[in-house]
Structure 1
Amino acid sequence: MAKAARAWTQVLARYRQPSNSRSIFEIAVTVVPLVALWALAWATLDIGYWLALPLAIAAGAFMVRLFAIQHDCGHGAFFSKRSANDWIGRIASVLTLTPYEVWRRMHATHHASTGNLDKRGFGDVDTLTVEEYRARSFWGRLRYRLYRHPLIMFGLGPAYLFIVQHRLPIGLMRDGWRPWVSTMANNLAIVLVAGLLIWLVGIKAFLLIHLPVLLLSASVGVWLFFVQHQFEHTKWDSDPDWNLHEAALHGSSHYDLPAFLRWFTANIGIHHVHHLSSRIPYYRLPNVLRDYPELRDVGRLTLIQSFRCVRLVLWDETQRRLVSFREARASAR
């Protein structure tokens, strides 16, 4: 018999202790290849961009992994000491263009409210119910359709989010001076690092190499976050019926990727377990599925199945599932 969602949190508590030596190793096998591939891409520019671009794209894959390390640091999951988590997270945030403290607070809000229809809009993908969409004006519907279009959601949107929006403490602008200090310090560090690289390699080489790294990692990051909660039988409830642990277990997917993609995405696809116990380091998440195979099929999505999630854009409160615009029209008839 499957355990109740809340009971799983007690079961998973024993996986929460990080290994500092393993965490250092994970940083090394992420940062060293990232730097080496970036340098190699620069060194091969004179040979031809056809050779440098694939190397930059490969570096982008390691940037995704670096963001996963920052993510775990934000949860206090990567090192046993909070100060170590925070400083590694801050350093990583300079490369990921994501101010650490601001993102950590917004992401904590996401964990505390995921799947709650009355607390949408904090660190999640904007999602309307069918009735909310029908109640919008023509222009309101058009804006939502544009926002949910794949070219915006996974192309222009990620670039805007990481390059532009993260430069201000969006969502926390009225919460005192701390979010501003975090964001401005992050901006200053980004300018200094970018300036040093431009001084070393030139602005043309910097843009030719680093823009693909940033754009690829940003798009992949948004895609992963999207698939983790935007699947057909996710779970959304109004506040009176919402339960934190049920939303964590059944409102988050198990994105069952091929082994090499699991490595590059740092097991973040085991997202239902992560939401149940966010203090588990990503390298211990596979151990949970090994020890408790009944969790493997909860919210499971394969790589092929995940592409179908793009068309799911509205929450149907009657059918209690995400539906497409076409399905919403059909139900209206």
Structure 2
Amino acid sequence: KLFKYGYLFFPIYWYIQGTLYTAFFILGHDCGHSSFSSYPLLNDTVGTILHTWILVPYYAWKLTHNHHHKNTNNIDKDAVFCPQRGIVDEPSYQNYLLYWFPGISWFYYLMFGYRPRGINHFNPFEPLFYNKHFIGASLSLATYLGMFYLMYIYAISVGFISLITYHLIPVFIFACYIVIITMLHHTEIDVPWYGDSEWNNVKGQLSTVDRHYGHVHSIIHSIGTHQIHHLFTKVPHYHLEEATEQFRKVYPDLVRINNEPILVSFSRMFKTFINQRSISQDTR
């Protein structure tokens, strides 16, 4: 009977596997910051393998993510979840779709970027990639296509439903994780955003919130411990907690911590962001 009704256990499997895929992503994230090892080729090789498995174009993502770190909470240059000047954007059904299924917005971001600074992570001819990084972005995308070929072989050999059940749904769970995590890193009512004329690197890197992800916090490599990561990107994930403890002792006035349950925070801040993301053209 256990096997007869085994499909009832699939949601548990999806949650566990999606969490582990998020851990894969964080390891690849360390590779993108060169905190995984001191060897660039090893970083890019491991990062490409890990991210390609969960359908992330590693090299292009690495470049846009590092752009985010160089412009954190800069209204005019940051890459995602930033206030938008002069738009008239009433809440719509698309917003609520992304609220209930945030993983959709992850794949949308990979294909189109975040307005008004759109970018296609699958196009090696994008200006951010083309001049210096065309070969790296192209090789990463070739690996990505190879992953699709492997999935195709699996689907025709074992079954498309099996592919969806055992791999693609956990990938979508990971995508939901990463959207929630990314938003909550820099979105809170007491976290400032700055116009380019007022922004500087220290202000930007301190505009970050530490959050605890409960029973999965250590499994996803303490990625919610984010202030230290932004101040010192070369700190690997396994030293984040230790470094954060020291930072909080020495600079208690600079610490931002939110201990609200993660899904409660996401629900509250997503709705706040949607309703308040439009700002005037002269906001500084």
TM-score by length of 2: 0.80
User: What is the CA-CA distance between 1:218 and the residue it aligns to?
Assistant: 0.2
Equivalent position to 2:10, from 35, 44, 52: 52
Equivalent position to 2:173, from 190, 201, 216: 216
* 2:95 counterpart letter in structure 1: H
Equivalent position to 1:247, from 188, 204, 211: 204
Equivalent position to 2:104, from 123, 147, 156: 156
> Partner residue of 1:313?
273
> Partner residue of 1:102?
60
Change (3 A) 1:325 1:66: same
User: What is the CA-CA distance between 1:172 and the residue it aligns to?
Assistant: 4.4
User: What is the CA-CA distance between 1:149 and the residue it aligns to?
Assistant: 2.5
Question: CA offsets per residue over residues 5-32 of structure 1, 9 Å max, x none?
Answer: xxxxxxxxxxxxxxxxxxxxxxxxxxxx
| Bigger shift: residues 160-169 or 272-281 | 160-169
Match runs of 1:45-124 below 5 Å: 47-120=5-78, 122=79, 124=80
Larger radius of gyration: 1
> Partner residue of 1:236?
193
> What is the root-mean-square deviation in Å for CA atoms of aligned residues?
3.0
The unaligned stretches of length 5 or more in structure 2 are 113-119, 280-284
Change (3 A) 1:228 1:171: farther
* 1:275 counterpart letter in structure 2: H
- CA–CA separation in structure 1 for the residues paired with 2:171 and 2:110: 8
- CA–CA separation in structure 2 for the residues paired with 1:97 and 1:56: 16
Q: Do the aligned residues in 2 keep the contact of 1:63 with 1:217 (CA within 8 Å)?
A: yes
Change (3 A) 1:148 1:245: farther
User: What is the CA-CA distance between 1:265 and the residue it aligns to?
Assistant: 2.4
Q: Do the aligned residues in 2 keep the contact of 1:70 with 1:88 (CA within 8 Å)?
A: yes
Change (3 A) 1:85 1:111: same
Higher RCO (C-alpha 8 Å, min separation 6): 2
User: What is the CA-CA distance between 1:166 and the residue it aligns to?
Assistant: 4.8
Question: CA offsets per residue over residues 81-122 of structure 1, 9 Å max, x none?
Answer: 2221111001112112111111111111100011112214x3
Question: CA offsets per residue over residues 98-156 of structure 1, 9 Å max, x none?
Answer: 11111111111100011112214x3x224225xx24xx3xxxx23xx349825325153
User: What is the CA-CA distance between 1:229 and the residue it aligns to?
Assistant: 0.9
Q: Percent of aligned pairs with the same residue? A: 23
Question: CA offsets per residue over residues 15-59 of structure 1, 9 Å max, x none?
Answer: xxxxxxxxxxxxxxxxxxxxxxxxxxxxx9865321233213211
- CA–CA separation in structure 2 for the residues paired with 1:172 and 1:283: 34
- CA–CA separation in structure 1 for the residues paired with 2:187 and 2:126: 22
- CA–CA separation in structure 2 for the residues paired with 1:284 and 1:195: 39
- CA–CA separation in structure 1 for the residues paired with 2:202 and 2:248: 19
Change (3 A) 1:126 1:186: farther
Question: CA offsets per residue over residues 221-261 of structure 1, 9 Å max, x none?
Answer: 11100000111111222222211022101x11111332x22
- CA–CA separation in structure 2 for the residues paired with 1:281 and 1:79: 9
Structure with the bigger percentage of helix: 1
- CA–CA separation in structure 2 for the residues paired with 1:127 and 1:243: 17
> Partner residue of 1:226?
183
* 1:151 counterpart letter in structure 2: L
- CA–CA separation in structure 1 for the residues paired with 2:63 and 2:204: 19
Equivalent position to 1:277, from 232, 236, 239: 232
Change (3 A) 1:168 1:46: farther
Q: Do the aligned residues in 1 keep the contact of 2:104 with 2:175 (CA within 8 Å)?
A: no
User: What is the CA-CA distance between 1:183 and the residue it aligns to?
Assistant: 4.8
User: What is the CA-CA distance between 1:161 and the residue it aligns to?
Assistant: 4.2
| Bigger shift: residues 280-289 or 159-168 | 159-168
Q: Do the aligned residues in 1 keep the contact of 2:48 with 2:140 (CA within 8 Å)?
A: no
Equivalent position to 1:185, from 125, 142, 164: 142
Question: CA offsets per residue over residues 206-229 of structure 1, 9 Å max, x none?
Answer: 112223201111011111000001
Kindly tell me the number of residue pairs found equivalent between the two proteins. Answer: 262
> Partner residue of 1:25?
none
- CA–CA separation in structure 1 for the residues paired with 2:81 and 2:178: 13
- CA–CA separation in structure 1 for the residues paired with 2:222 and 2:75: 27
* 2:193 counterpart letter in structure 1: W
